[in-house]
Amino acid sequence: MNFSEFEKNISVDFSDRALLKQAFTHRSYINENRKTNLEHNERLEFLGDAVLELIVTAHLYEKYPDYNEGEMTSLRSALVNANTMAEAANKIKMNDFMLLSRGEAKDTGRARQYILANAIEALIGAIFLDQGYKVAEKFVGENLFPLLPKIIKEGFWLDAKSHFQEKAQEIAGITPSYETLKEIGPDHDKHFTIGVFLGKEKVAEGEGKSKQDAEQAAASAGLKAKNWN
């Protein structure tokens, strides 16, 4: 794969190209190509997650002085959730460079979006190791922060669960319930898929690195599905 093309797209010139390639290497690829000398991207993702959290937290603290701790926490969660991260990854065409097993390569649905969300975190970790904090901060600023105005305008990040429950009781006369549909990943990197239900009707699903984040994401998706914005 021509990773120099990707470097040009994101305006980052890696000194250690192996780090860049590792960021795109999913565990399934390693399992299917056991003779490869490549490493999967999970350690980079772990690092990138921490770097991303610091960059986003510092940005919100500086740019939104009127927001309290709870509001900043909710907004940060909305910005770094799986859906938003996958959106950012797709915009820079990360999907074109992913190293996946044949089975994973065929799955272009929700699982792929989760893989992309993790991969962009790994990429942030790789940029931090290779280029330092300032370049990682610039990358996040160019590729994630432009999504903030849309998130703030939609307003679902404030507390989508409360909003959805209020609407559900008002319009449908039902209190929504939440059910864990899927739980994957090691203990240090769990990923949850949760469904929001009105009675037996599954209204929507949401994903997150905690059950709380996934429930908020499901409620946000439910508001859109029901046009209860």
Within 8 A by CB and 6+ apart from 5, the residues are none
Catalytic, out of 42, 87, 104, 121: 121
**Known catalytic residue: 49?**
yes
- Secondary structure (3-state) at 55: helix
Q: Which of 73, 119, 78 is nearest to 96 (CA)?
A: 119
Catalytic, out of 42, 45, 49, 213: 49
Going from the C-alpha of 174 to that of each of 11, 132, 156, 167, the distances in angstroms are 50, 51, 20, 9
**Known catalytic residue: 5?**
no
Alpha carbon distance 202, 18 (integer Å): 44
Residues known to be catalytic: 49, 121
